[in-house]
Amino acid sequence: EAHKHYNEEAKAILWQSNRQIDLRTTGTYASASLRFFQDVTKVSRKAKDLSQEEDHWIKSAYMGALTWAELYEGIATELDFNEFYPNILAHGSIYWPIGADDVWLYLFQQEDAKLYQKKLDH
């Protein structure tokens, strides 16, 4: 039943997108959205070079379990972003920042696969 539903939806999206979005080749909605975005915008895949400070902080970051901690007194909030991430994706109408310059912030809206730009207030 799920397979049948997926195939029907994939065919409908393929037809409505004039054969630009094919879920059967990408497998997931996220992969299809990203591929469509990259194809339509022709965005360069090369990342900008990091500054020396950014490079230092990234290289000195530890990507494992917390092995020590310092005593902290005060108000603290525990956030589990990994737990909240599926909820964000399920919401659908979220905007992902994809770049910026001195004047504009560029955003990608997942639900309708469109690009937006917002003028920055300096």
For the question of whether the overall pTM of this predicted structure is more than 0.75, the answer is no
Q: For the chain, which residues make up each domain, given as ranges?
A: 1-43, 91-122
For 35, list phi and psi in degrees, rounded to 5.
-65, -45
Alpha-carbon dihedral angle through residues 58, 64, 66, 68, given to the nearest 10 degrees: -80
Residues in the chain: 122
Question: Which pLDDT tens digits describe the chain residue by residue (122 residues)?
Answer: 888 888 888 898 888 888 888 888 887 888 888 888 777 776 566 667 778 888 777 777 655 555 667 888 888 776 665 565 666 666 666 666 667 777 677 776 766 666 667 777 65
